[in-house]
Structure 1
Amino acid sequence: MSRQEVVAAIGAALADVLEREVALTEETRLFDDLRLDSSSVLELLMIVEDATGITVDPEDLDIDYLRSVRSFADYVESRQAVR
């Protein structure tokens, strides 16, 4: 997947989780701007796993990967390289 496709998959997943359309950029902060909580993060992870084919172990996921769309997209891309 290209970077643009990864960011689009994250955007679609966030729209599902938040049950509304979200206008986002890579600078959008997941907790501060979108008000995600722990249960919505888990739901986000599951949707992104399905959309991108990666596997995420929430126990090993560092909070820094979830600071912004950019940091999460970086994480997803790094997981794609592992597949």
Structure 2
Amino acid sequence: MDRQNVLTALENALTDVLEHPVTGLTGDVKLFDDLHLDSTTMLEMLMFLEDSIGLVVDPEDLDADDFISVDTFTDFVLAAQLGQVAA
């Protein structure tokens, strides 16, 4: 999976969770500040990504720094996907 695929999946997840269209995300968009996510919507987004792209995340691996922006979250998802392939 590449960055663009993750970005598309993230836009779809956010559209579902926030219940309004989310498109045109850029890497510098802040998930909490700009999109007004909270811990509940973040968990819902992770569950959506789990169902849609097969993302598997160990709660022990979650770090607040991974959820700062679209870029940091995309890096997190890509790293998680690589970990799944390597396992």
Give the TM-score, by structure 1 length: 0.92
SS of alignment partner, residue 31 of structure 2: coil
1:19 counterpart residue number:
19
Paired with 1:59 and 1:46, the residues of 2 have a C-alpha distance of: 16
Structure 2: stretches of 5+ with no match in the other structure: none
Q: Deviations over 1:47-76 (max 9, x none)?
A: 112222121133430000000111110000
Q: Deviations over 1:4-30 (max 9, x none)?
A: 001100111011110001232111110
Q: Tell whether 2:76 aligns with 1:75.
A: yes
* Structure-to-structure mapping, 1:51-70, within 5 angstroms: 51-70=52-71
Give the TM-score, by structure 2 length: 0.88
Aligned length: 83
AA paired with 1:19? E
Cα root mean square deviation, aligned = 1.1
1:9 counterpart residue number:
9
Identity of aligned residues (%): 52
Q: Which stretch shows the higher mean deviation, 48-57 or 64-73?
A: 48-57
Paired with 2:4 and 2:61, the residues of 1 have a C-alpha distance of: 25
Query: Which stretches of structure 1, 4 residues or more, deviate above 3 A after TM superposition?
Result: none
Q: Which stretch shows the higher mean deviation, 19-28 or 37-46?
A: 19-28
